[in-house]
A and B are shown apart, each in its own frame.
Chain A
Amino acid sequence: SLENPEPRTRARGIQLLSQVLLQCHSLLLEKEVVHLILFYENRLKDHHLVIPSVLQGLRALSLCVALPPGLAVSVLKAIFQEVHVQSLLQVDRHTVYSIITNFMRTREEELKGLGADFTFGFIQVMDGEKDPRNLLVAFRIVHDLISKDYSLGPFVEELFEVTSCYFPIDFTPPPNDPHGIQREDLILSLRAVLASTPRFAEFLLPLLIEKVDSEILSAKLDSLQTLVFQTASERVETEGLAALLSLTACLSRSVLRADAEDLLDSFLSNILQDCRHHLCEPDMKLVWPSAKLLQAAAGASARACDHITSSVLPLLLDQFHKHSQSNQRRTILEMILGFLKLQQKWSYEDKDENPLSGFKDQLCSLVFMALTDPSIQPQLVGIRTLTVLGTQPGLLSTGDLELAVGHLYRLSFLEEDSQSCRVAALEASGALAALYPVAFISHLIPKLAEELRREESDLARGDEPTKCSRHLRCLQALSAVSTHPSIVKETLPLLLQHLWQANKGNVVAGSTEVIAICQSLQRVAEKCQQDLESYWYFHETAVPCLLALAVQASMPEKEPSVLRKVLLEDEALAAMVSVIGTATTHLSPELAAQSVTHIVPLFLDGNTSFLPENSFPSRFQPFQDGSSGQRRLIALLMAFVCSLPRNVEIPQLNQLMRELLELSCCHGCTFSSTAAAKCFAGLLNKHPAGQQLDEFLQLAVDTVENGLGSKASRSQAFTLLLWVTKALVLRYHPLSSCLTARLMGLLSDPELGPAAADGFSLLMSDCTDVLTRAGHAEVRIMFRQRFFTDNVPALVQGFHAAPQDVKPNYLKGLSHVLNRLPKPVLLPELPTLLSLLLEALSCPDSVVQLSTLSCLQPLLLEAPQVMSLHVDTLVTKFLNLSSSPSMAVRIAALQCMHALTHLPTPVLLPYKPQVIRALAKPLDDKKRLVRKEAVSARGEWFLLGSPGS
Chain B
Amino acid sequence: MVGGGSGVGGGLLENANPLIYERSGERPVTAGEEDEQVPDSIDAREIFDIRRCWAWVESLFLHLTHLIRSINDPEHPLTLEELNVVEQVRVQVSDPESTVAVAFTPTIPHCSMATLIGLSIKVKLLRSLPQRFKMDVHITPGTHASEHAVNKQLADKERVAAALENTHLLEVVNQCLSARS
Task: Give complex CA distance A170, B5 in Å.
Answer: 7
Name the B residues within 8 Å of A171 (CB-CB): 1-2
- Closest B residue, CB atoms, query A172: B1
Closest CB of chain A to B3's CB: distance in Å?
A: 6
Given A886-B36, A927-B39, A931-B42: A948 touches B178 (CB 8 Å cut-off) = yes
Q: Is A532 interfacial (CB-CB < 8 Å)?
A: no
Closest CB of chain B to A214's CB: distance in Å?
A: 9
Task: Give complex CA distance A230, B33 in Å.
Answer: 38
Name the B residues within 8 Å of A885 (CB-CB): 36
Given A220-B8, A948-B170: A920 touches B18 (CB 8 Å cut-off) = no
Q: Is A940 interfacial (CB-CB < 8 Å)?
A: yes
Which B residues from 1 to 40 make CB contacts under 8 A with A? 1-8, 10-11, 13-20, 29, 33-34, 36, 39-40
Which B residues from 111 to 161 make CB contacts under 8 A with A? 124, 127-132
Name the A residues within 8 Å of B4 (CB-CB): 165-167
Task: Give complex CA distance A928, B171 in Å.
Answer: 30
Given A230-B17, A949-B178: A928 touches B40 (CB 8 Å cut-off) = yes
Flag A225-269 by CB within 8 Å of B: 1 or 0 each. 011001110000000000000000000000000000000000000
Q: Is B79 interfacial (CB-CB < 8 Å)?
A: no
Given A230-B13, A935-B50, A943-B177: A186 touches B33 (CB 8 Å cut-off) = no
Tell me which of B17, B124, B128, B177 contacts A923 (CB under 8 A).
B128
Which A residues from 843 to 889 make CB contacts under 8 A with B? 885-887
Given A169-B2, A886-B36: A947 touches B17 (CB 8 Å cut-off) = no
Task: Give complex CA distance A935, B56 in Å.
Answer: 15
Name the A residues within 8 Å of B178 (CB-CB): 943, 948-949
Closest CB of chain A to B85's CB: distance in Å?
A: 17
Interface size bracket, B side = 35 or more
Contact, CB under 8 Å: A130 / B36: no
Interface size bracket, A side = 35 or more
Task: Give complex CA distance A230, B16 in Å.
Answer: 7
Tell me which of A170, A174, A927 contacts B2 (CB under 8 A).
A170
Task: Give complex CA distance A223, B8 in Å.
Answer: 10
Q: Is A168 interfacial (CB-CB < 8 Å)?
A: yes
Closest CB of chain A to B28's CB: distance in Å?
A: 10
Q: Is A132 interfacial (CB-CB < 8 Å)?
A: yes
Contact, CB under 8 Å: B174 / A946: yes
Task: Give complex CA distance A671, B85 in Å.
Answer: 65
Number of residue pairs A-B, CB distance < 8 angstroms: 110
Name the B residues within 8 Å of A453 (CB-CB): none
Name the A residues within 8 Å of B40 (CB-CB): 926-928
Tell me which of A170, A926, A946 contacts B170 (CB under 8 A).
A946
Flag A595-610 by CB within 8 Å of B: 1 or 0 each. 0000000000000000
Q: Is B81 interfacial (CB-CB < 8 Å)?
A: no
Flag A878-916 by CB within 8 Å of B: 1 or 0 each. 000000011100000000000000000000000000000
Contact, CB under 8 Å: A948 / B172: yes
Majority SS of interface residues in chain B?
Answer: loop
Closest CB of chain A to B163's CB: distance in Å?
A: 13
Tell me which of A219, A285, A924, A935 contacts B7 (CB under 8 A).
A219
Tell me which of B50, B131, B170, B181 contacts A940 (CB under 8 A).
B181
Q: Which of B4, B15, B132 has the most CB of A within 10 A?
A: B4
Contact, CB under 8 Å: B2 / A949: no
Name the B residues within 8 Å of A227 (CB-CB): 10-11, 13
Name the B residues within 8 Å of A186 (CB-CB): 2
Closest CB of chain A to B9's CB: distance in Å?
A: 9
Tell me which of A165, A286, A288, A939 contacts B128 (CB under 8 A).
A939
Task: Give complex CA distance A938, B50 in Å.
Answer: 12
Q: Is B87 interfacial (CB-CB < 8 Å)?
A: no
Closest CB of chain A to B175's CB: distance in Å?
A: 4
Task: Give complex CA distance A929, B27 in Å.
Answer: 10
Task: Give complex CA distance A226, B16 in Å.
Answer: 8
Closest CB of chain B to A646's CB: distance in Å?
A: 39
Q: Is B72 interfacial (CB-CB < 8 Å)?
A: no
Task: Give complex CA distance A174, B172 in Å.
Answer: 38
Contact, CB under 8 Å: A286 / B7: no
Name the B residues within 8 Å of A345 (CB-CB): none
Name the B residues within 8 Å of A923 (CB-CB): 128-130
Q: Is A932 interfacial (CB-CB < 8 Å)?
A: yes
Given A166-B2, A887-B36: A947 touches B170 (CB 8 Å cut-off) = yes
Name the B residues within 8 Å of A935 (CB-CB): 50, 127-128
Name the A residues within 8 Å of B13 (CB-CB): 226-227, 230
Name the B residues within 8 Å of A169 (CB-CB): 2
Q: Which of A232, A942, A948, A949 has the most CB of B within 10 A?
A: A948
Given A132-B1, A927-B40, A948-B178: A938 touches B127 (CB 8 Å cut-off) = yes
Task: Give complex CA distance A924, B130 in Å.
Answer: 5
Task: Give complex CA distance A761, B130 in Å.
Answer: 38
Tell me which of A168, A174, A230, A920 contacts B15 (CB under 8 A).
A230
Closest CB of chain A to B10's CB: distance in Å?
A: 4
Name the A residues within 8 Å of B36 (CB-CB): 885-887, 927
Name the B residues within 8 Å of A927 (CB-CB): 33, 36, 39-40
Name the B residues within 8 Å of A174 (CB-CB): 1
Name the B residues within 8 Å of A132 (CB-CB): 1-2
Name the B residues within 8 Å of A131 (CB-CB): 1-2
- Closest B residue, CB atoms, query A164: B4
- Closest A residue, CB atoms, query B132: A924
- Closest B residue, CB atoms, query A926: B39
Name the B residues within 8 Å of A943 (CB-CB): 174, 177-178
Contact, CB under 8 Å: B49 / A932: yes
Closest CB of chain A to B176's CB: distance in Å?
A: 8
Name the B residues within 8 Å of A931 (CB-CB): 42, 46
Flag A174-186 by CB within 8 Å of B: 1 or 0 each. 1000000000001
Name the B residues within 8 Å of A165 (CB-CB): 4-5
- Closest A residue, CB atoms, query B4: A165
Closest CB of chain A to B79's CB: distance in Å?
A: 16
Task: Give complex CA distance A946, B173 in Å.
Answer: 10
Name the B residues within 8 Å of A939 (CB-CB): 124, 127-128, 177, 181
Contact, CB under 8 Å: A215 / B50: no
Q: Is A135 interfacial (CB-CB < 8 Å)?
A: yes
Contact, CB under 8 Å: B172 / A929: no
Task: Give complex CA distance A929, B49 in Å.
Answer: 12
Q: Is A936 interfacial (CB-CB < 8 Å)?
A: yes
Name the A residues within 8 Å of B29 (CB-CB): 929
Task: Give complex CA distance A935, B47 in Å.
Answer: 11
Contact, CB under 8 Å: B46 / A942: no
Name the B residues within 8 Å of A166 (CB-CB): 2, 4
Which A residues from 282 to 317 make CB contacts under 8 A with B? 285-286, 288
Task: Give complex CA distance A771, B110 in Å.
Answer: 70
Contact, CB under 8 Å: B42 / A170: no
Contact, CB under 8 Å: A949 / B174: yes
Name the B residues within 8 Å of A932 (CB-CB): 46, 49
Task: Give complex CA distance A148, B141 in Å.
Answer: 81
- Closest B residue, CB atoms, query A174: B1
Closest CB of chain A to B115's CB: distance in Å?
A: 17
Contact, CB under 8 Å: B3 / A170: yes
Q: A165-B5, A932-B49, A948-B175 given; name 16 further pairs at CB < 8 Å.
A: A135-B2, A165-B4, A167-B4, A171-B2, A223-B10, A230-B16, A231-B15, A285-B19, A923-B129, A923-B130, A935-B128, A939-B181, A942-B127, A943-B178, A947-B167, A947-B174
* 26 A-B interface contacts by CB (under 8 A): A165-B4, A167-B5, A168-B5, A170-B5, A171-B1, A215-B8, A223-B10, A227-B11, A230-B13, A230-B15, A286-B17, A885-B36, A886-B36, A923-B128, A923-B130, A924-B130, A927-B36, A928-B42, A929-B33, A929-B34, A931-B46, A935-B127, A943-B177, A947-B170, A947-B171, A947-B174
B: residues with CB less than 8 A from A are 1-8, 10-11, 13-20, 29, 33-34, 36, 39-40, 42, 46, 49-50, 124, 127-132, 167-168, 170-175, 177-178, 181
- Top 10 closest pairs, chain A to chain B, by CB: A948-B171, A170-B6, A924-B130, A948-B174, A926-B39, A165-B4, A947-B171, A928-B40, A948-B175, A935-B128
